[in-house]
Amino acid sequence: MTAASTGPLDCLCAGIIVADHVGAPIDRLPLPGMLAETASLHLSIGGCAANCAVDMTRLGLATAVAGTIGNDILGRFVREVLDEAGVDCSILEIRDDLHTAATQVINVQGEDRRFIHATGANAHFTTGAIDDEILQRTRVLYLGGYCLADQPTAEQVADLFARARRLGVITMLDVVIPGPGDYSDRLAPVLPVTDHFVPNDDEAKLLCGLDDPFDQADSFLEAGAASVAITCGNQGSVLASANGRFRASAHDVPLVDGTGGGDAFAAGFILALLDESGPEDCLRMGSAAGACCVQVTGATTGMPDAVALRQMAAETPLEITQV
């Protein structure tokens, strides 16, 4: 391990790491054989674990990442971005025999973004590198992109979260759901050792079959999660736990690229958790971070520092009601 890996960590971000090829919004999708012109195409870091790690270092938090990438040109790009951001990569696995995961992000004006994804090395990520030594110096363990691939298994994640909880680490789970299916076997062992479950409402519907975000949250609470925060795009977010049920509006900001908005929400939420804030302030900080993210192209480009984020959250009205 490197020297950087021996100090305390505010957050360890585990899960999927992706190289995103993102286009600025186009007027409409081209017909077969036709071309659509965009103002820009750029390569950026993506994937829940990488996005959250970069976001949190910009917020001034000591952050490490755990995941699997290939020893290829995209993997070298991802590692360079993580290093430049100040993310501890000492337990990041680099494989010569695998390709780094990649996503083409298609943005169309007035529509939700579309993804074309190659899972690549993410399909081979396990939790084996996350031992108790690193957990003992970690305050929050975030695992993102769960359910996208067969690895890590439910048993691996449940064991990791159980070990983390025994050591006093806050656990947070996020998912990427590739399509309709029965995911109950993936969630049943994990939610009872999850402190905060943070899907979006589309993912939640695929998981539980319910439309209303509070009904969705209740189903995950019944399955064992201690707290559930569900993001609902321009409809805001909801949070349900033993401490109450809250609904937050969304910030009225121009949507340029929604990529990474949920990851930014998680990063802001974690910043509030580390401040020992209550559920309303967790929603407030998460919502502010998400709003910053979606106003620019790229999953992590719009994240400000903690001072600016706290100022936005304090000065920009956000209606939060207890229901």
Backbone angles phi, psi at 266, to 5 degrees: -60, -40
| pLDDT tens digits for range 275-321 | 999 999 999 999 999 999 999 888 898 999 999 999 999 998 899 99
Question: Taking Cα atoms as reference points, which of 242, 245, 202 lies closest to residue 222?
Answer: 242
| Three-class secondary structure of residue 121 per DSSP | helix
The tally of CA atoms less than 13 A away on the side-chain side of residue 24 is: 6
In the chain, domain spans: 3-322
pLDDT in tens, 33-46: 999 999 999 899 99
Q: Are 72 and 100 in contact (CB under 8 A)?
A: yes
CA–CA separation, 320 and 323 (whole Å): 10
Pairing of strands 101-106, 114-118: antiparallel
pLDDT digits (tens, 9 = 90+) for 174-208: 999 998 999 999 999 999 999 999 999 999 999 99
- Report the DSSP beta bridge partners of residue 69: 94
For residue 242 the two structure tokens come to 């033993």
- DSSP 8-state symbol, 24: -
Q: Which CATH architecture best describes the domain 3-322?
A: 3-Layer(aba) Sandwich (3.40)
For 53-69, what is each residue's pLDDT tens digit? Answer: 999 999 999 999 999 99
| 154 touches 189 (CB < 8 A) | yes
Residues in the chain, overall count: 323
pLDDT higher than 50, residue 148:
yes
Per the omega criterion (within 30 degrees of 0), is the bond before 152 cis? yes
Instruction: Determine the Cα–Cα distance for residues 78 and 162; give it in Å rounded to an integer.
Output: 30
105: β partners: 22, 115
Q: How do residues 225-276 score in pLDDT, each as one tens digit?
A: 999 999 999 999 999 999 899 999 999 999 888 888 999 999 999 999 999 9
Residue 151 in contact with residue 127, Cβ under 8 Å? Answer: no
- pLDDT tens digits for 302-312? 999 999 999 99
CA distance 226 to 207: 17
Is 323 in a helix, a strand, or coil? coil
